[in-house]
Amino acid sequence: MTRTRAPLCGLALVAGLLFAAVAPAAQFINILTGGTSGVYYPLGVALGKVFETAVPDARPSVQATKASVENLNLLQAGRGELGFSLGDAVSQAWAGNAEAGFKAPLKKLRALAAIYPNYIQIIAAKDSGIRTLADLKGKRISVGAPKSGTELNARTVLAAAGLSYADFAKVEYLPFGESVELMKNRQIDVTLQSAGLGVASIRDLATAVPIVVVPVPADVVAKIGDSAYQPAEIPVATYEGQDATVPTVAITNILVTHSGVPDEVAYAMAKGLFEHLDQLAAAHAAGRAIKLENAVKGLPIPLHPGAEKYYREVGLLK
């Protein structure tokens, strides 16, 4: 009986080795997002599900992070294959702006696609008396996680309005969800959030306490002097209690990858993204703003060659 088993075990071992030799290597795709109460995270989860079938042999994972700046640094270090970021953070990463959180130029970064715009949403408690940017002086504010894309946006927009952090009674550096909890508990007066319209954190806040959406007038946007920032509007009734359209500023979000990602993988990710936009729209309202025709507009870094191949195939690039 023992003599019979030995050849069978040997055959099984050989078969296993042969299978291992011909089995395709798993393609790990770590998707870097943001806080779980923001927009990046649900869209990242939806992309992960898309990539399970759209990218050959893919093993997607989704990582919650502090968003733009952390994502870009992780991509440069090869600790992710795809990340969400605000366009101005991508520009600063490419240039190596130390003040923005980039110790050196991040030259491995490559663009996969421009996606939806982020809107600067300055939300005040209605009983705070805040109605304009000038009213923010002396108030308590949360400006987003330290060195996040939101916090970079906050500094930029507030500076254009003639305000610095020194003008506030208190400045908190917290993610969206934690900022909202402080608002509910009356520990701060206002939260600035850079996100897609209808972000869950602000919807949650608006159902808990009366809010005011503070306008960012077009003349303030013009003072920023950066083409990444464009005048925009938050439509009426985006949030409970918002009874008018509110002017603000928008910044394009970009899906970023890096030069170490194989061309065929970047190609499959771009193709999967734009062939499954319905799944992203179902995951979050911001997904409805992602359009193929905008995919290569205003990119501050080079396209990944794999993504470029896809855009040429569909006629977006000639």
Q: Return the CATH number at 122.
A: 3.40.190.10
pLDDT at 23: 52
On whether residue 13 sits in a domain, the answer given is no
On whether residue 17 sits in a domain, the answer given is no
Q: Which helix (H) or strand (E) holds 229?
A: strand 229-234
pLDDT band with cut points at 50, 70 and 90 for residue 226:
confident
For residues 154 and 87, membership in a common domain is answered with: no
Task: Give the contacts of 15 (CB within 8 A, at least 6 positions apart).
Answer: none
pLDDT digits (tens, 9 = 90+) for 60-85: 999 999 899 999 999 999 999 999 99
Structure tokens at 240: 């409970």
On whether residue 180 sits in a domain, the answer given is yes
For residues 89 and 211, membership in a common domain is answered with: no
Residue finishing a domain among 215, 236, 251: 251
For residues 270 and 221, membership in a common domain is answered with: no
Structure tokens at 71: 């994502």
> What Cα–Cα distance (Å) separates residue 278 from each residue in 43, 88, 110?
11, 27, 25
pLDDT exceeds 90 at position 228: no
pLDDT exceeds 80 at position 14: no
For residues 122 and 245, membership in a common domain is answered with: yes
Q: How far apart, in whole angstroms, are the C-alpha atoms of residue 82 and residue 67?
A: 12
Residue finishing a domain among 198, 233, 251: 251
On whether residue 15 sits in a domain, the answer given is no
On whether residue 37 sits in a domain, the answer given is yes
On whether residue 21 sits in a domain, the answer given is no
For residues 195 and 239, membership in a common domain is answered with: yes
Q: How far is CA 208 from the centre of its chain?
A: 26
Neighbouring CB atoms inside 10 A of 25's CB total 6
pLDDT band with cut points at 50, 70 and 90 for residue 7:
low
For residues 215 and 236, membership in a common domain is answered with: yes
pLDDT at 11: 53
Q: What range does the domain containing 98 cover? A: 27-115+254-313
- Nearest CA to 136 out of 165, 112, 110, 103 is that of 165
On whether residue 19 sits in a domain, the answer given is no
For residues 213 and 303, membership in a common domain is answered with: no
Residue finishing a domain among 209, 226, 251: 251
If one counts the domains in the chain, the total is 2
For residues 146 and 230, membership in a common domain is answered with: yes
SS3 content of the chain, % helix, strand, coil (to 5): 45, 20, 35
For residues 309 and 160, membership in a common domain is answered with: no
For residues 273 and 151, membership in a common domain is answered with: no
On whether residue 10 sits in a domain, the answer given is no
pLDDT digits (tens, 9 = 90+) for 191-201: 999 988 889 99
Residue with tokens 């080079």: 302
pLDDT digits (tens, 9 = 90+) for 156-189: 999 999 999 999 999 999 999 999 999 999 999 9
Structure tokens at 284: 């979050």
Structure tokens at 117: 């715009």
For residues 141 and 233, membership in a common domain is answered with: yes
pLDDT digits (tens, 9 = 90+) for 24-44: 678 999 999 998 988 899 999
pLDDT at 16: 55
For residues 241 and 194, membership in a common domain is answered with: yes
What is the SS3 assignment for 233? strand
